[in-house]
Structure 1
Amino acid sequence: MGADLDREFKVLSSRLPFGLNFERHSPEVVELPQRVIRKGDKVRVLPPRGATKKGDPRLWQVKNIRKTDDGKLADLELLHAAEVETQAVALADLVVVAEFRDTIYPGLVSTGKVQRGGEKPHHTVINGENYHVLKALTYTHRGKVDAIYIDPPYNSGAKDWKYNNDYVERDDQYRHSKWLAMMERRFLVAKQLLNPADSVLIVTIDEKEYLRLGLLLEQTFPEAGIQMVSSQINPAAVARAGAFGRSDEYIYFAKFGSAGPKRVELNREWVSAKGRTHNVVVRWDLLKRSGKKGSSRKDSPGCFYPIYIDPEGPKVAKIGEALPNDISVPKNVPGTVAVLPIRKDTSEGRWQWTPATLKSRLAEGRVRISGSIAKGFTVSILKPGEYNKIKSGEVEVTGYGVDGSLIVEGQDEGNSVRAIPSTQWRITSHDATQYGTRLLDDSFLPGREFPYPKSLYAVEDALRFFVVGKPEAVILDFFSGSGTTAHAIMRLNHQDGGRRQCISVTNNEVAAGEQETLRKKNLRPGDADWEKLGICDYITKPRVATAITGKTLDGKPIKGDYKFTDEFPMADGFEENAEFFTLSYETPVSISHNRAFERIAPLLWLRAGSRGQRIDKLPVEGWAVVEAYGLLVEVDSATPFIKALNKVKELSLAYIVTDDDRRFQAIARRLPAGVEPVRLYESYLSNFSFTNGE
């Protein structure tokens, strides 16, 4: 039996699972320099001020905090040690550490707001570890997010991201698996936030991780339809030693439920050289025969004839007869311009249809005229295959042009086309240098550098295909960086009057190049002079604020105009609202005893749609009602509370604070139709108790 078991074990152990295999590197940890240290916390001991070397990487637990003549001391005990080891360290020399298997109880602290949008919902910018913020959003936005757009670290080895508070270097042998572990954890939480019936996850990446990312997406989201687009972001190309210059990056679209790209108005850059786009409803071809074989006048003399164009249309005024072989100049018809099938090399070509055929198909609306006297006129036709789409009812005729040509649903007109593009994007406005780096530095945040921001218009275009027709969409970016996604959503709202809202999540990490300089000045993460240079406070929040106000940080109007799709002065700003928050970490005891309400209040407001007033303090009357939700603290005041709810339109939630489930159910039955009852703090505590552990 032992031999049989051994043989079977060897067979099983030799099998490898299909797909992407990597170390999960659990637990991932993050330092929380602004978190107040409490008894029972996990901490690390920081290096002395002024030192640039790494501190003690070991984890300690705070057993006691005591006051001394020199300040507060913490009694520590080493975690995960074979033998007990203790020490006493000044509280100021410690930093709280959270392992990603730990249960957290999040709150939010408001750090400012900008309001120009009246009753519109607020965009939110949250400063915090993005994994923990994602966990917080499972309470406020589970299944409610319409689109996620992220530009995660590309794992270039150039200190673009940290794992366990250390930069992942190019020569780290676990570099790829650390990156995958980091991404997988966040994807699994993001999956809970996306609307399974109709939503999209958009992820940008370059050549260093695009293969692994593709496999990770396939494994994490087997139910999604996944497609990759190649997008040119730098027409000049970035030189690579011993390799081709890189000019593009890749965009993955993971589509859930019924989600799919919608036809939108695109300029001519999206159309290929042959005038085609992916999934255009009908395609117009040139009447002039192309190619080398069979395209000259001598190949079909009966198809060399003039078409007289009335330039006021432009439209066809008359179709001439085939010219004799010895004549190349047509007769003059007053008020018209004669068009012949002359090829680019000025040789005589031929039309695809005879005069009689052209006349009959002109009557069917299958001939279209474009151009002008100055630029010349072009004659386009609907071939039988394309015309059959109309006759079969596959596409609907919506009207006729001035030239009598058919206009169908989705058909291009003039300088734009209503379509879905191909997977190759070579669009001028997607240049990251011109419309990312320079836009930020020249207009919105002069003098403040941010590495490799996305083109504003590239993000706008990627999202447009999925949020067009969704004016109330919720968009999440949990690798927010410079805040381009929020800016793009404001642009989309400006174009169609939408009320979309963006949740931007970023940490307050200081750029790697600045950290050593700051440490030499005796500064540490958590110090005010350190934190003010962090990404969130130095870049993200100011960028969102200046975009809304139309003014730079020194109060001057922003110079320049927005381009493409929607052109107007940047100084006009946007009629939008935004509020900025920092993630806080609470204890279940303080929450259940109403001692952390001011920090839980923003989560209740977010869950109700981030619109209108917020109930920031416990109401003295025992209840309060605002535009989007109500709060009942004293269940004995249920009757006046419910009366107040009935007077507010579009109110969606009622938070009821009680430990008595029967009383909660009794009050819930009395609520107005369409108002969701939520029991506090049971719903909050159970959400994080049961979902936050790994």
Structure 2
Amino acid sequence: MAAINDLLRQIPDASLRSRLEQEFARLSKNKKFGLVFEEHIPECTPLYDVPVKRGSTVARKTGHINDIYTVVKLDGDTALCRNKATGDTLTIPLTELVSVAQFGEPIFPMLQPIASVENAPDSSLWHTLIEADNYHALQLLEYLYPKKVDCIYIDPPYNTGARDWKYNNDYVDSSDNWRHSKWLSMMQKRLRIAKRILADDGVLIVTIDDNEHAHLTMLLNEIFPDRKLFSVPIQHNPRGTQGEKFAVTHETAIFVVSKTSEIYKKSHLGGEISNFRKWGNQSKRSQTARATTFYPVIVDAELNIVKFGDVLPLDEHPEGANVKIGDYIYVYPIDSQGIERKWRYSKKNEDEVLPFLRAVNNSGTIEIHIQRESENTKTIWTDPLYNAEEYGTKMINSMLDTTFSYPKSLYAVHDALWHVVSGKPNALIVDFFAGSGTTLHAVNLLNIEDNGNRRCILVTNNEVSDAESKALQKKGYQPGDLEWEKHGICRSVTWPRTKYSILGRRDDGTVLTGEYFTNQIVTKEVDRSFYQLGFIENPTELTTSTKKQLVSLLRDKEGKTQLPQTLVKTDTKFIVSEKHSASILFDVNAVDAWLEALEDQDHIIDFYIVVKETGKFKEIKSRISDLLGPINVTSQVKRPMSDGFPANVEYFKLGFLDKNSVSLGRQFREILPLLWLKSGAIGQRPEISSDEEPEMLILPQNGFAVLVDETKYAEFAEKISEEDNIKVVYFVTYSEEAFREMTAGIKINNTYQLYRDYIDNFVLGSRRDS
């Protein structure tokens, strides 16, 4: 029924149209439904770069995109057009027309190179930004990467009613009675194709707010019935958006997970990570008769821990904390002062302990850290780094001359991706609602943290905002004009952000300021804190009540109470607790018992001593320092934004080819970027330098080869047999039999028939999607 709204607008009789609209409005008020929504009139996409010809399907640039015409005849600067719905004909200036692609029609996409940035010339990894309507881009991605995407992260329009998204080229606002239905129809079409590119163990992440959360959950359950959904509220606005009755502080990330999907556990900084080496006066190697805790932890060049080495005899001493032997580094428990100490666990605990160890490069010295087993990922995220204003809006505004509404926090996206691909260093990640480009930014941060090689594909249209659209129209500009397009999101926000963040500087040469928080950590030794409470006249006469009052005054740097008063008993002389990081001595006469209780209590960092004499305080402080030694403080490593990222990106605009030309094989040059992407986007994108079509292309630096002239097969087969890096081969041939014979004659598994595979994908795909 919802499609009637669009059809009613096409009735030329104004009186009849008005009567029918009133009647339909009355009937629609009685409509009751849960997740029952209309398919609506099929979506149409304006193709501003496709020339208008006789027979073209067109619409007015400033009219309804689904008010469609067929071009009957061209006459100079005008076109005689027939309305497909009414059959009426009229003459329209060519400058007012745009070619359109209707939903369900076969389209044959190509990628027009727009720009690129290369900041890692020695890397074969190339990200991709595609300026396009995401529906047609998804059709292309299905051809390129069927069942190959490890993670899809999308942040679709939230449908708040604020005219921030379009359906059929018209902004949808709160006055549209069918806005929820249109939103679901739009999402359904895209999610169906997204499902076909997602790997069996891949994960889909969708962020959404409460406007469509319930509807989206039902839709996802319908499209992915064999997967499980986890909704994770993320506090992205701690102050809250002042709404009616409640201040909204969160949005939700929905994780769509299969049985084989891996959700990686994340340990937070603090008590969970510490040095595997012991410290304190009982930590020296010389203080044990059995040397079972002095052995090398063997690490490879990639900082992977291989195993524990043999225990060293007491009379054998390594040359230092790190000893290189062959391709491996032998790490010993020797501190920065050169003192031989002990590991926390003996050699016999290797199998039990090894999974929780990791090697860390701390200013050139390899250290071994132990990390307690992490809990499963929590379903409520409240990290201050998820603040979208601080780490989204302000970050983008500091980079660009323009502003962007409601960008994600870089770290909220980073952590969502981390849980899905941290164990997949070569993961392929897709975002087809790319917006400002946060996802690619986050992938670059992930890669720099663990030397990963993850690749990201962004898809976004080049829409201008509603306000900008009106302003540009007043100046006489139309969609497709250069002045109009340069204000679009892809060209004014997504691409500049991508380029600047990679290079660490803007086009004018000014460097980016600020720092990134990373998952990398650094550990350093610092002294424990000691406090003399010398204001008490008679410490030995303290009452239980006075001790409780004294304990209530002890606060950490954040102002939180360090010790509960319930730990104070009638005859308490000191407090030592395994649950608290502070300890207090009320009676200096009990110092020996206090020190005995403190042994191995490495977690205690703050010590309060009730004593008037400064000399006595210093003596006790010295004894505790000898007993426990310094503490290892673990902190996050920050990365200057001016350092950029070692990454490369190609920026394309989606275009469309003539079906007949593709069938005849006349557009190889236009197809070549697709072949590069389908082969893994390895190395710098190849280009054909001459105007003539080559007989063959052998591209080991890109990992693929193409035989264009099948009469040259013997020469082609011999050449690729001499190359080790060719993983994909394309044969241009009309004969399936010839394709099978040529495939059988080479030792490469991934072969494709051009242009048969290409054409079939979009013809069959369009039929299926319609």
TM-score bracket, normalised by the shorter chain, equals 0.7 to 0.9
Match of 1:547 among 501, 510, 527: 501
Give the TM-score taking structure 2 as reference length: 0.67
The Cα offsets for residues 18-59 of structure 1, whole Å up to 9 and x where unpaired, read as 972111114122323333223322211245xxxxxx568621
Q: 2:72 corresponds to which residue?
A: 63
Match of 2:402 among 441, 448, 466: 448
Residue 226 of structure 1 aligns to a residue whose secondary structure is strand
Match of 1:27 among 31, 42, 59: 42
Q: Is the 8 A contact 1:266 1:416 kept in 2?
A: no
Question: Amino acid of the residue matched to residue 29 of structure 1?
Answer: C
CA 1:107–1:396 in structure 2 vs 1: closer, same or farther (change >3 Å)? same
Q: 2:258 corresponds to which residue?
A: 256
CA 1:182–1:535 in structure 2 vs 1: closer, same or farther (change >3 Å)? same
| CA–CA distance in structure 2, aligned partners of residues 310 and 579 of structure 1 | 51
Share of identical aligned residues, percent? Answer: 37
Question: Amino acid of the residue matched to residue 162 of structure 2?
Answer: A
Displacement of 1:662: 1.8
Displacement of 1:619: 6.6
CA 1:34–1:107 in structure 2 vs 1: closer, same or farther (change >3 Å)? same
- Greater shift after overlay, 136-145 or 415-424? 415-424
- 1:302-451 to 2 correspondence within 5 Å? 311-312=280-281, 396-398=352-354, 418-442=374-398, 444-445=399-400, 447-451=401-405
CA 1:166–1:660 in structure 2 vs 1: closer, same or farther (change >3 Å)? same
Does 1:142 pair with 2:154?
A: no
Q: 1:170 corresponds to which residue?
A: 174
Displacement of 1:611: 1.0
Question: Amino acid of the residue matched to residue 569 of structure 1?
Answer: P
CA 1:246–1:669 in structure 2 vs 1: closer, same or farther (change >3 Å)? same
Displacement of 1:593: 2.4
Does 1:491 pair with 2:445?
A: yes
Q: Is the 8 A contact 2:668 2:693 kept in 1?
A: no
Match of 2:244 among 231, 241, 244: 241
Q: 2:661 corresponds to which residue?
A: 590
- Greater shift after overlay, 635-644 or 225-234? 635-644
Question: Amino acid of the residue matched to residue 764 of structure 2?
Answer: F
Q: Is the 8 A contact 1:267 1:415 kept in 2?
A: no
| CA–CA distance in structure 1, aligned partners of residues 386 and 439 of structure 2 | 14
Match of 1:108 among 111, 115, 123: 111
Q: Is the 8 A contact 1:147 1:199 kept in 2?
A: yes
Q: Is the 8 A contact 1:429 1:564 kept in 2?
A: no
CA 1:101–1:215 in structure 2 vs 1: closer, same or farther (change >3 Å)? same
CA 1:399–1:181 in structure 2 vs 1: closer, same or farther (change >3 Å)? closer
CA 1:670–1:19 in structure 2 vs 1: closer, same or farther (change >3 Å)? farther
Q: 2:269 corresponds to which residue?
A: 267
Q: 2:365 corresponds to which residue?
A: none
Q: 1:469 corresponds to which residue?
A: 423
Q: Is the 8 A contact 1:490 1:574 kept in 2?
A: yes
Question: Amino acid of the residue matched to residue 99 of structure 2?
Answer: V
Match of 1:568 among 632, 639, 648: 639
Q: Is the 8 A contact 2:235 2:386 kept in 1?
A: yes
Q: 2:682 corresponds to which residue?
A: 611
Q: Is the 8 A contact 1:122 1:611 kept in 2?
A: yes
The Cα offsets for residues 116-172 of structure 1, whole Å up to 9 and x where unpaired, read as 222322100000100000001111011110000000000000011001111111121
Does 1:622 pair with 2:695?
A: yes
CA 1:684–1:400 in structure 2 vs 1: closer, same or farther (change >3 Å)? closer
Displacement of 1:421: 2.5
- 1:3-22 to 2 correspondence within 5 Å? 20-22=35-37
Give RMSD over aligned pairs: 2.8
| CA–CA distance in structure 2, aligned partners of residues 643 and 399 of structure 1 | 48
Q: 1:362 corresponds to which residue?
A: none
Displacement of 1:478: 0.2
Match of 2:708 among 623, 629, 633: 633
The Cα offsets for residues 587-630 of structure 1, whole Å up to 9 and x where unpaired, read as 21111223322222111111000112444338755101113111
Q: 1:332 corresponds to which residue?
A: none
Q: 1:601 corresponds to which residue?
A: 672
Q: Is the 8 A contact 1:156 1:208 kept in 2?
A: yes
Residue 453 of structure 2 aligns to a residue whose secondary structure is coil
Residue 510 of structure 1 aligns to a residue whose secondary structure is coil
CA 1:19–1:548 in structure 2 vs 1: closer, same or farther (change >3 Å)? same
CA 1:652–1:400 in structure 2 vs 1: closer, same or farther (change >3 Å)? closer
| CA–CA distance in structure 2, aligned partners of residues 110 and 666 of structure 1 | 35
Does 1:44 pair with 2:59?
A: yes
| CA–CA distance in structure 1, aligned partners of residues 452 and 370 of structure 2 | 26
Match of 1:98 among 86, 97, 101: 101
Question: Amino acid of the residue matched to residue 659 of structure 2?
Answer: P
Does 1:659 pair with 2:734?
A: yes
| CA–CA distance in structure 1, aligned partners of residues 450 and 69 of structure 2 | 54
Q: 2:83 corresponds to which residue?
A: 78
Q: Is the 8 A contact 1:558 1:571 kept in 2?
A: yes
Mark the runs of 5 or more structure 1 residues left unpaired by the alignment. 1-15, 48-53, 281-308, 316-389, 402-411
CA 1:201–1:57 in structure 2 vs 1: closer, same or farther (change >3 Å)? closer
Q: Is the 8 A contact 2:695 2:709 kept in 1?
A: yes
The Cα offsets for residues 366-386 of structure 1, whole Å up to 9 and x where unpaired, read as xxxxxxxxxxxxxxxxxxxxx
Does 1:648 pair with 2:723?
A: yes
| CA–CA distance in structure 2, aligned partners of residues 514 and 431 of structure 1 | 27
Residue 268 of structure 2 aligns to a residue whose secondary structure is strand
| CA–CA distance in structure 2, aligned partners of residues 513 and 313 of structure 1 | 70
Displacement of 1:415: 9.1
| CA–CA distance in structure 2, aligned partners of residues 163 and 124 of structure 1 | 26
| CA–CA distance in structure 2, aligned partners of residues 473 and 213 of structure 1 | 26
| CA–CA distance in structure 2, aligned partners of residues 64 and 661 of structure 1 | 40
CA 1:681–1:400 in structure 2 vs 1: closer, same or farther (change >3 Å)? closer
Residue 505 of structure 2 aligns to a residue whose secondary structure is coil
CA 1:87–1:414 in structure 2 vs 1: closer, same or farther (change >3 Å)? same
| CA–CA distance in structure 2, aligned partners of residues 236 and 413 of structure 1 | 37
Question: In the comparison of the two structures, how many residue pairs are matched?
Answer: 540
Question: Amino acid of the residue matched to residue 121 of structure 1?
Answer: L
Q: Is the 8 A contact 2:234 2:251 kept in 1?
A: yes
Match of 2:193 among 175, 189, 192: 189
Q: Is the 8 A contact 2:58 2:68 kept in 1?
A: yes
CA 1:257–1:667 in structure 2 vs 1: closer, same or farther (change >3 Å)? farther
Does 1:689 pair with 2:763?
A: yes
Displacement of 1:239: 0.6
CA 1:219–1:55 in structure 2 vs 1: closer, same or farther (change >3 Å)? closer
| CA–CA distance in structure 2, aligned partners of residues 399 and 108 of structure 1 | 45
Question: Amino acid of the residue matched to residue 88 of structure 1?
Answer: T
Question: Amino acid of the residue matched to residue 483 of structure 1?
Answer: G
Question: Amino acid of the residue matched to residue 257 of structure 2?
Answer: K
| CA–CA distance in structure 2, aligned partners of residues 313 and 436 of structure 1 | 48
Residue 160 of structure 1 aligns to a residue whose secondary structure is strand
Question: Amino acid of the residue matched to residue 651 of structure 1?
Answer: I
Displacement of 1:548: 1.1
Question: Amino acid of the residue matched to residue 583 of structure 1?
Answer: L
